[in-house]
Amino acid sequence: MPPITYLTTIDFEIGAVARLGEAIQGLKISRPLIVSDRGLKAAGIVDRIAALCPAGSPVFLDVPTNPTESAALAALEVYKAEGCDGLVAAGGGSPIDLAKAVALLATHDGPLETYAAILGGIPKIAAVAPLIAVPTTAGTGSEVGRAALISLDDGRKLGFISPHLIPKLAICDPELTLGLPAWLTAATALDGLSHCIETLLSPRFNPPAEAIALDGAGRIWRHIERACADGSDIEARSELMMGALEGGLTFQKGLGAVHALSHALGGLKTTSLHHGTLNAILMPPVLRFSAGHVGDKIERLKAAMGLPPEADLADELDALNRRLGVPAGLGTLGVTADVLPWVVERALADHSHATAPRQPTAEEYRALLDDRMG
């Protein structure tokens, strides 16, 4: 299949991962650091990726569920000690985001927080080390996104945003997602769906991004239950991967209150929370909160997803969550009421808050969280 060129180069095809070695040579990377995780090592995918890389390429596997500054510094130490000149990230959003942080730190001086978007770091980011992203889930869109979400050592989960952080190449092979557990398929796909919905609802003017978001939302909605029911359904897996990729392509339009809250919750040190699961839980109440502030966009979404005009989209998302076995509320994930004031504070400071179609106050953020405590 011919490559797609939009923001970056995308090799999207069943079996595309076989071209990884050729891609590494094309980017003139002689010694990449492979960034992945131990789950993918156990599944044999890391060894498969390593076999396509130059012999002896070092591997970093200590990637937390929510990537951290300390993990990025540990990976950077390996990168420098091994004389690496580029990276290959294989996995979901966590390895890819961590690899972006390493690519940044390998080429820029100063502490990581210097480059956080909310702290004025966007114009400080110049060219970074070359990165090839090989997603093994269909959800985050980080393989084509310009952002990395990293939890600093002080607990703040900050966004690092720049066109320079977009991987030089995304190799999207749906075969790598075959057999993904149903719960992870659901959580990651709902993450992708939340990206499409929130970027569409963002008030920024970007019609091309909105068109992509509508197409992505429709693909994910129509195929998510098929993929969860049958892990070997390659057509459904391909559609989810394309929908998630499209969610990533629309990121530059901005997200909203769902992600402001999920970023804050992801920074909690008391419990480890899956980003996609958080987005799935939070999307319905935020959608209800935003209704009346988004013009005809919800109607356009329902049409793209094949829902009747009279359908209530928030109710439909709640029902989908129940059918897929998404946890009923934040309390079931270990979130306790005492951390909510901190979460609200962080949500208000998050870069996604600024592009919400209706920006919640502190009291409104707290009400949204209380609604989902379960």
Report yes or no: 328 and 239 within 8 Å, Cβ to Cβ: no
Q: What is the pLDDT of residue 1?
A: 62
Q: Letter for the amino acid at 171?
A: I
| CA–CA separation, 202 and 327 (whole Å) | 27
Please name which of 32, 5, 177 lies closest in space to residue 91, comparing C-alpha atoms.
177
- Give the N- to C-terminal CA distance of the chain in Å, as an integer: 46
User: What Cα–Cα distance (Å) separates residue 327 from each residue in 34, 182, 223, 260, 322?
Assistant: 33, 13, 20, 20, 8
Backbone φ, ψ for residue 60 (5° rounding): -120, 120
Q: What is the pLDDT of residue 5?
A: 66
Q: How many CA atoms lie within 13 A of 98 on its CB side?
A: 30
Backbone φ, ψ for residue 33 (5° rounding): -90, 125
For the chain, domains (ranges, CATH) are 4-176 (3.40.50.1970), 180-371 (1.20.1090.10)
Question: Computed over its alpha carbons, how large is the radius of gyration of the chain?
Answer: 19
Q: What is the pLDDT of residue 4?
A: 66
| CA–CA separation, 240 and 7 (whole Å) | 20
Give strand ranges (E) for the chain: 4-6, 8-12, 32-35, 59-60, 86-91, 131-135, 147-151, 157-161, 169-172
Q: What is the pLDDT of residue 272?
A: 83
Which H or E run contains 122? Answer: none
Q: Which residue has the tokens 């013009």?
A: 295
Q: What is the pLDDT of residue 173?
A: 97
| CA dihedral of residues 19, 24, 26, 27 (deg, nearest 10) | 140
Low-confidence ranges of the chain (pLDDT < 70): 1-2, 4-5
| CA–CA separation, 256 and 374 (whole Å) | 22
* Tokens matching residue 335: 């979130």
Give this prediction's pTM: 0.91
Q: What is the pLDDT of residue 11?
A: 95
User: What Cα–Cα distance (Å) separates residue 342 from each residue in 158, 260, 332?
Assistant: 14, 13, 19
User: For residue 340, how many other CB atoms are within 10 A of its CB?
Assistant: 18
